[in-house]
Structure 1
């Protein structure tokens, strides 16, 4: 996607399309990715984690700390964690990683 954007095949609005809730999560309950945004090159990327599994909301649970992630990993059931890179400034977002808990917590 970045290559297509840089080649002029995609508009900025096509790649900077984060949902308002994802941008809010990036501002309020995320951790620094220690990388600049590849689109605006101004903002620092944030990592937002969502976990899906039994007895969690249908839309998943936004993880606010490593302790919360560990607690969920300790529960019975199959849980999947999705890590999304988000630029709160321009709205660029990308699924960085998905993994089953407790494999990588």
Structure 2
């Protein structure tokens, strides 16, 4: 780069390129990465479903309320994050959400 502005633009482009999904990625590799992220998360007991969102930067994990109590959720989130760190290669960081929902419905007549 010959000018100060060119240096700034180059630095901004480099920072921008580091974001997941900012550059064209082979769609097959992208889908495999998301599937692997979901697979790692589903490998733990008590999980009813999980979804990779935000281009794989977040994983939302729903647990069965009868199998996982609220205190266990914190440990489960930590264990899943550690397993993701150990088994996957990814840019940046991945936010792990563990959701537990209980519902009670009654009708007034």
Q: Taking structure 2 as the reference length, what is the TM-score of the superposition?
A: 0.29
Q: Taking structure 1 as the reference length, what is the TM-score of the superposition?
A: 0.29
**Between structures 1 and 2, the one with greater helix share:** 2
Larger Rg: 2
**Between structures 1 and 2, the one with greater strand share:** 1
